């Protein structure tokens, strides 16, 4: 018994995922995306505390490591979706062949879902509607909606191609023999169809990356809010300085140590928490940080001694 043929429309839609896989596969693209997500998340966190990203001096490796916690869950979900989408498509095509009712109902439901998702995305994109949920509904709606609309059209084309091919299969026994001798033919898409598939794949990928970028931003805001609520979760810092630093802020205590001018360290500062050490700098927050309070950046040099505690 020969393998069950795949209709041309179904074959064409399946190729979409091959195009997506070819675009996503390169390691360079994945690395760039991880760096971008790490940059978005890090920029959001430190901007909450009034620190510009340009002062951090983070390396590419720093951004890669910082993006892991941000992208692990969404990337895992996307990869899982790409694994199950083809088996799900095959099952859907077989379901269409069970009776005429499902042939009409399933493509209709898929198209309606695609239209609703696209409308949600367009309304948010044009700012006609402001969504209050902390989810990237706009990119998800646009990408998923266009994908479902295309899929619904492909399913309708699948049933129509099978109906049109049925009379030909009854009267074309000689052609069937030639086909079986020469092997099954793979439908070759024309230029317009190929352009549509590439454009759809690009829109789906752009929407997915857009959604992940929004997710990284939301994750950064959440992390910054957590730090602001519980600054004690950060390592405590005690600063010994040769000269008076004139540091002040909520909860900051300056203590003179020695009146002797030859003493190595003459002032002590308590009440800071370590936010980050990077590029030979300490980025510190007051223990009682509140909006409007100042973060402090100190150079790591011999005039300072910095001690940490929990």
Kindly provide the b/e burial profile for residues 52-62, where b requires at least 16 CB atoms within 10 angstroms of the residue's own CB. Answer: eeeebebeeeb
Residue-averaged pLDDT of the chain: 79
Query: For 213-241, how does the pLDDT look when each residue is reduced to its tens digit (9 = 90+)?
Result: 888 888 899 999 999 999 889 999 999 99
Res 169: pLDDT? 46
Q: Identify the weakest region by mean pLDDT among 70-74, 153-157, 238-242.
A: 70-74
Q: Please, which pLDDT band fits residue 12 given cuts at 50, 70 and 90?
A: low
The CA-based diameter of the chain, rounded to the nearest angstrom, is 109
pLDDT at residue 279, as a whole number: 87
pLDDT tier at 165 (50, 70, 90 boundaries)?
Answer: very low
Select the highest-mean-pLDDT range: 148-157, 159-168, 235-244: 235-244
Q: How many CA atoms lie within 13 A of 76 on its CB side?
A: 6
pLDDT band at 134 (very low <50, low <70, confident <90, very high): confident
What pLDDT is stored for residue 273 in this prediction?
94
**Which of 71-75, 234-238, 277-281 shows the lowest mean pLDDT across its residues?**
71-75
> What is the rounded average pLDDT of the residues 296-310?
91
At residue 70, the pLDDT reads 73
Q: For position 178, what pLDDT does the model report?
A: 40
Pick from 6, 12, 56: nearest CA to 188:
12
Residue 276: strand pairing partners: 283
What's the rounded mean pLDDT across residues 194-205? 81
Quote the percentage of the chain above a pLDDT of 90.
Answer: 25
Q: Give one word for 12, left, alpha or beta, with left for phi > 0 and alpha for psi -120 to 50.
A: alpha
Whether residue 62 contacts residue 34, with contact meaning beta carbons closer than 8 Å, is answered with: no
Q: Identify the band that residue 160 occupies on the pLDDT scale cut at 50, 70 and 90.
A: low
The DSSP secondary structure of 20-31, one letter per residue, reads HHHHH--HHHHH
Cα separations in angstroms, 231 against 55, 150, 293 = 21, 49, 13
């Amino acid at each position: 018994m020969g393998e069950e043929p795949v209709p041309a429309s179904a074959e064409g839609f399946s190729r979409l995922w091959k195009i997506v896989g070819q675009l996503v596969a390169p390691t360079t693209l994945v690395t760039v995306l991880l760096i971008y997500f790490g940059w978005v998340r890090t920029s959001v966190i430190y901007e909450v505390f009034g620190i510009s990203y340009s002062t951090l001096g983070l390396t590419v490796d720093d951004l890669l490591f910082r993006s892991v916690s941000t992208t692990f869950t969404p990337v895992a979900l996307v990869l899982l979706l790409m694994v199950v989408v083809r088996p799900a498509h095959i099952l859907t095509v077989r379901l269409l062949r069970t009776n005429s009712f499902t042939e009409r109902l399933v493509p209709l439901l898929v198209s309606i879902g695609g239209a609703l998702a696209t409308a949600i995305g367009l309304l948010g994109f044009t700012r006609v509607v402001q969504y209050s949920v902390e989810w990237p509904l706009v990119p998800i709606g646009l990408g998923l909606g266009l994908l479902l609309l295309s899929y619904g059209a492909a399913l309708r084309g699948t049933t129509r191609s099978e109906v049109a091919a049925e009379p030909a299969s009854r009267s074309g026994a000689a052609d069937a023999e030639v086909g079986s001798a020469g092997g099954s033919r793979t439908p070759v898409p024309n230029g317009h169809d190929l352009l549509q598939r590439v454009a759809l794949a690009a829109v789906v990928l752009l929407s997915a990356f857009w959604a992940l970028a929004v997710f990284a931003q939301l994750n950064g805001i959440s992390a910054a809010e957590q730090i602001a609520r519980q600054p004690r979760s950060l390592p405590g810092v005690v600063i010994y300085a040769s000269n008076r630093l004139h540091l002040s802020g909520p909860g900051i205590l300056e203590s003179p140590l020695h009146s002797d001018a030859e003493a190595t360290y003459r002032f002590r500062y308590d009440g800071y928490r370590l936010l980050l050490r990077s590029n030979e700098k300490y980025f510190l927050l007051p223990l009682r940080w509140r909006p409007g309070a100042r973060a402090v950046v100190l150079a790591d040099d011999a005039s300072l001694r910095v001690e940490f505690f929990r």
